[in-house]
């Protein structure tokens, strides 16, 4: 049995579910909107036992061979949020999240991806150390609250960018101390990550098990994800990576215990490959639609095959 946890409107969840249905793969979908009527029990001893019940549906957690996770906090489900923080429903939703997250960490089932292995994404500097250890170049980086330090960093490296240090998504933007003095004034209250801007061509690589799906990205803005908001444009197409770079992406993802990952690369004019980030829960459908890949099928096949094998790769 394959367990899928998330929201039906989340495209990666929806497409993986369709791919599982196409394979007639037995699966149980925990739609987070159903948290209002859900109950979960778990017992940990020599074995891990438990049951997830949603109305008339019941899942024996011991029967789960693989899991695909993209849950949000259940307290953000409208019915739960509307009940308020002091409500019984609010507390129960938090408990369900806690119990299922604990089960995801401890189960012998094949999990894409375990919460503990996604945690490094919450600290971009720490993740950059893992990326560097995997053999990729990372841009020169500085985290500071000092305007003086930023000016010195810019003088040393020329063009620089800034972005969030945490897992909270931010818009990657170029920084100019001369033009953005108002932002420098806010630095003492907001430690910020600055990096040397690396020139070159962008690639997004999705690793699924031992397979890679590379997309070449051409954009007119610094952060292709926000091209429309930044009044620019982004185009992408399927691409082929050099074998050694593709293999390095796979090895890096596996070293992080990530069996599905989104890797952001840039190839410089000198042929060097930099890695900026590794997304442990990528919203791959945007790239799938643009590049024509069947990443959802690959994930479904991974869940079926590794679930049958009964262990992680």
SS3 (DSSP) at 25 = coil
Share of the chain above pLDDT 70, in %: 98
pLDDT at 233 over 70: yes
Q: Please write the tens of the pLDDT for every residue from 180-221.
A: 888 888 888 888 999 999 999 999 999 999 999 999 999 888
Are β-strands 27-31 and 38-44 bridged in parallel, bridged antiparallel, or unpaired? unpaired
Residue pair 218/266 in contact (Cβ under 8 Å)? The answer is no
Share of the chain above pLDDT 90, in %: 78
pLDDT at 309 over 70: no
pLDDT at 311 over 70: no
pLDDT at 256 over 90: yes
pLDDT at 71 over 60: yes
Look at residue 312 in the predicted model and tell me its pLDDT: 47
Are β-strands 27-31 and 2-6 bridged in parallel, bridged antiparallel, or unpaired? parallel
Residues facing residue 97 across a β-bridge: none
Average pLDDT over all residues of the chain: 92
Q: Using 50, 70 and 90 to split pLDDT, how confident is the model at 146?
A: very high
Longest dimension (CA), the chain: 65
Residue 305 to residue 310: CA distance in whole angstroms: 9
Range from 36-40, 97-101, 125-129, 224-228 carrying the lowest mean pLDDT: 224-228
Residue 48 to residue 61: CA distance in whole angstroms: 8
Look at residue 222 in the predicted model and tell me its pLDDT: 82
Q: Using 50, 70 and 90 to split pLDDT, how confident is the model at 107?
A: very high
The first and second tokens of residue 154, run together, are 């810019």
pLDDT at 64 over 80: yes
191 or 308, which is more confident?
A: 191
Q: What is the mean pLDDT of residues 85-108?
A: 95
Residue 71 to residue 54: CA distance in whole angstroms: 16
Q: What is the mean pLDDT of residues 258-274?
A: 97
E strands of 167-284, at which residues? 173-175, 192-196, 201-208, 211-219, 234-239, 260-267, 273-279
pLDDT at 167 over 50: yes
Look at residue 313 in the predicted model and tell me its pLDDT: 43
Look at residue 310 in the predicted model and tell me its pLDDT: 53
Q: What global pTM score does this model have?
A: 0.90
The residues, ordered by sequence, that sit 6+ positions from 88 with a Cβ below 8 Å of its Cβ are none
Residue pair 64/25 in contact (Cβ under 8 Å)? The answer is no
């Amino acid at each position: 049995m394959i367990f899928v946890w998330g929201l039906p409107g989340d495209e990666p969840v929806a497409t993986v579910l369709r791919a599982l249905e196409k394979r007639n793969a037995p699966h149980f979908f925990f739609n987070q909107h159903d948290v209002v009527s859900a109950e979960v029990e778990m017992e940990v001893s020599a074995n891990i036992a438990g049951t997830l019940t949603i109305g008339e549906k019941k899942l024996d957690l011991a029967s789960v061979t693989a899991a695909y996770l993209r849950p949000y906090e259940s307290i953000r489900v409208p019915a739960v949020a509307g009940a308020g923080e002091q409500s019984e429903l609010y507390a129960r939703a938090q408990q369900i999240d806690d119990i299922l997250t604990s089960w995801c960490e401890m189960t012998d089932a094949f999990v894409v991806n375990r919460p503990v292995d996604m945690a490094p994404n919450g600290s971009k500097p720490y993740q950059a150390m893992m990326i560097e250890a995997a053999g990729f170049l990372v841009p020169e980086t500085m985290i500071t609250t000092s305007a003086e330090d930023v000016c010195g960093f810019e003088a040393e490296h020329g063009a620089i960018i800034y972005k969030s240090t945490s897992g909270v998504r931010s818009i990657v933007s170029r920084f100019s101390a001369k033009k953005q003095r108002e932002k420098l004034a806010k630095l003492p209250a907001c430690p910020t990550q600055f990096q040397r801007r690396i020139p070159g061509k962008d690639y997004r690589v999705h690793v699924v098990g031992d397979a890679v799906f590379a997309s070449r990205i051409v954009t007119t803005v610094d952060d292709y994800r926000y091209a429309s908001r930044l009044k620019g444009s982004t185009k992408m197409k399927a691409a082929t990576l050099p074998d050694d770079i593709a293999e390095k992406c796979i090895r890096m993802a596996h070293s992080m215990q990530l069996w599905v990952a989104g890797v952001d690369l840039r190839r410089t004019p000198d042929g060097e490959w930099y890695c900026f980030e590794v997304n442990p829960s990528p919203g791959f459908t945007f790239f799938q639609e643009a590049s024509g890949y069947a990443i959802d099928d690959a994930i479904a096949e991974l869940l079926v095959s590794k679930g049958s094998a009964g262990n992680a790769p």
